[in-house]
Amino acid sequence: MPEKFKVSIASDHAGFEMKNKIIEYLESNNFSLIDRGPTNNDSVDYPDFAKKVCTDLADDDATRGILICGSGQGMAMVANKHKGIRAALCVNEEMVELARAHNDANVLTIGARLVDESTAISCVDKFFSTPFEGDRHTKRVNKIG
């Protein structure tokens, strides 16, 4: 991963442990991070945390975001309601690669109950190492809003 990104990351209670593992991994690779919580695995409302990450991207405080909840679905739904956010729920590297290359995804959502730690880290790697292809995809991405 030659280019380094400023990453905003958050989870809900179900994704708390995986969020911490991903943070450890990214820190060990010298990424700049904004941890938007939560600070423990007590029950929380995932929309509150997804909104914080989306605000960081909208305000240019971060260049990419990662959201983790039980299924990844709730975080993706909330994130995709924000202008300029293209959140992709991915469960394997191929999904991540396509989401980046074809859709210019700027937020990766992960289901902590659906993927193991190793798969999550592989998805994170792919998220930061895959460039947007542009060309024919640019027109389509611009239609997203």
Convert the pLDDT of each residue in 88-128 to its tens digit.
999 999 999 999 999 999 999 999 999 999 999 999 999 99
Mean pLDDT of 78-85: 97
Q: Which ranges of the chain does DSSP label H, i.e. alpha helix?
A: 16-28, 46-58, 73-79, 93-103, 117-129, 136-142
CB under 8 Å to 75, separation ≥6 — which residues? 12, 15, 46, 49, 50, 67, 68, 69, 87, 89, 109
Q: Determine if the pTM surpasses 0.75.
A: yes
For the chain, what is the mean pLDDT?
A: 95
Question: In 3D, which of 79, 81, 76, 113 has the Cα closest to residue 95?
Answer: 76
pLDDT at 119: 98
Strand partners of residue 9? 35, 66
Tell me the C-alpha distance between 72 and 69, whole Å: 5
pLDDT at 1: 44
Convert the pLDDT of each residue in 11-29 to its tens digit.
999 999 999 999 999 999 9
Mean pLDDT of 64-76: 98
> What CATH number should be reported for the domain whose range is 6-142?
3.40.1400.10
Displacement of CA 10 from its chain's centroid (Å): 9
pLDDT at 40: 96
The continuous run of DSSP H or E covering 8 comes out as strand 6-11
pLDDT at 37: 97
Active site residues: 102
